[in-house]
Structure formats: C-alpha cells, structure tokens
Amino acid sequence: MDNYLAGLATEGVNPETQNIDTCTTEEMVALINRQDALVAGAVGAERHHIAQAVDLIYGCFRRGGRLIYLGAGTSGRLGVLDASECVPTFGVDPDMVQGYIAGGDIALRHPVEGCEDSEEDGIALVDGLEVGPDDAVVGITASGSAAYVLAALRRAKERGSITIGVCTNAGSRLEGLCDVTIAPLVGPEVISGSTRMKSGTAQKMVLNMLTTCSMIKLGKVYGNLMVDLKASNKKLRDRALRLIIHATGLTPEEAETFLEGAGGHVKLAILMAKSGLDREAAQDLLDRCEGRLAQAIDQGKKEA
C-alpha cells in the first residue's frame, strides 16, 4: 500500500454518504447535491492562489507565450475541455491554450491503463512542445501525485517555464515543483476515491477562472460580453448579433450590416458602430489599444 495515497483526503471514506447504497433515489440525489455545495467554498478559499496563477498566465500571454494544461484521467479531460473552449469563446489561436491528457487523445474517451505512471511520456510531451520561459504549464492531478504530471512539471521548470499545480489535497507532491499550487480541499468523495466528482468539479471551476480572468485582462471581454467570440455556427452568429445590439442599441438589421462590414468580428463591429469609423480605421484604433474595446471607444471619442 502507498502510504502517500492512503493519507489523501480524497481517498478517505465520507461519513456523510456511507449509507448511500440503501437510500432512495431522491435521497441519493440530495446527498450528492449537499456534498457538491461544499465545493464552491473550497475553491473560494484558494482565491489568492488562483489570482496569483492568473497574473502569471497573463504575463505569459503578454509575452506571446502559451498556456498548456496537462493531466491524466478526469483531470486531463478537464484541461482539454477548457483549452478547446477558448477558441470559440475568446477568438484565440488554438495554439494559445492547449490541453493534453496522458495516453493521448484516445484517452479522452477510453481509459488507457498505466499512462498516468509514465514519467517518460510527461517529459517527452514538454520537450516536444519546446516549452520555455514565456509559457505557463498547468499540471492537474487530484492526488497531486500522478507521475506523468509531476515529471512534466519538473521538466517544464528545468526549461524555465512558469509551473502551476491544481490538485484537491493539501501538502501534495506538486508544491515543490510549482510556482503556485491551487488546492481546494474538497474532502472525501461521495463515492470513496471517485475524484471525477467533487475533485473534478473543483478543478473545472479553477480552470474556468484561470482562462476567463486571463482573457478578461487581455481585453477579450467588454463589460461582461464575450466580444471576441468566433461566430462559427448559426447559434454563435445569433449570439454575435445579440451582443452587438446589447452594446450599441442598434436594430437587428443594423447590427447585421455592421457585423458583415466587420467581417464577422463582433468587437470591431461594436467599435465601428460607436465611433463612426470605417473598418480599417477602427481596426487601427483597436490595435493601438491592444484589443481593449472600452479603451478604444474612449480613445475614439478623444480623437473625434
């Protein structure tokens, strides 16, 4: 028996749910819901570390670097999910936020036995990506002990990158390898050791914050509107029009005209509508303001 694993809070037996197998369906749902309600508080207790990590990631983005998630099992899947959502949500290049799972993409759907224990694979991934000082590597592991993740973080640190750990246990093996470790203490799982549950929920909440806050700081959001979205399907195009209407007060027909004139770029369409500038001039102004729409609108008023 591994004494480290045996001592993890997430491996303990939850006294609140020890009779869940004899509960009615509604009682089971209520028990799980009560346990899930504890997760937000655990994540909130880590807000200082989360903010530190956001500032480090933002600094990497400002230098042209990348955010790279890596993990095994549920943790790896959550990293890939968060990375893939950044492209349509914030209109970023797919290389800017990347997610990797031990065992490769097949492990997203099917368990690949033993892959989380492969230090060699973790090292090879980091070397293959040529991570460096401008990159932030985030290792996600509920236990804080997955060999694939630890080896990858160790190698990333040797290559000079920012290293960030996300786990759900205190005093994990991540801490000596990371510039910041984020560890929401969610306690024993509803089903003993099933870290896809509270641990997974906590990790998802943390990753949401890391990317969302970093993108806000980059100017990808105007107010609370996702103005850098890529209108890649009917739903997103409809959302794009509603965003323009909300931000400008235009009619749907006018919003459609500006969106077309901006080449489908919501942020540019809003600036054109608010400033009266043509596409080229509005893009120049937006570039000078580093993509920050509120700043570009204010600057446009000063220059008018």
The model's pTM: 0.93
Q: Is 139 helix (H, G, I), strand (E, B) or coil?
A: strand
Catalytic, out of 11, 46, 116, 189? 116
- Catalytic annotation, pick one of 46, 85, 120, 303: 85
- Cα dihedral sign, 18-20-22-27: positive
Element (H, E) at 101: strand 97-101
Structural domains in the chain, sorted by start: 3-217 (3.40.50.10490), 234-303 (1.10.8.1080)
Q: What average pLDDT values come out for the chain (304 residues) when binned by 10 residues? A: 74 94 97 97 98 98 98 96 94 96 92 87 97 98 95 98 97 94 96 95 98 96 90 86 95 94 92 94 95 94 84
Query: DSSP H helical segments within the chain, as ranges?
Result: 3-6, 25-36, 39-44, 47-62, 73-90, 119-129, 147-158, 198-217, 234-248, 252-261, 266-275, 279-288, 293-303
pLDDT score, position 2: 67
Under a CB-based contact definition with an 8 Å cutoff, are residues 184 and 165 in contact?
no
Instruction: Please state, in angstroms and rounded to a whole number, the distance separating the CA atoms of residues 74 and 47.
Output: 22
Task: Tell me whether residue 85 is one of the annotated catalytic residues.
Answer: yes
Question: What b/e string do you get for 151-173 counting C-beta neighbours within 10 Å, with b at 16 or more?
Answer: bbbbbbbebebbbbbbbbbeebb
Rounded to an integer, what distance in angstroms lies between the CA atom of residue 231 and that of residue 234? 8
- pLDDT in the model for residue 233: 83
- pLDDT at residue number 275: 93
Say what the pLDDT of residue 8 is.
86
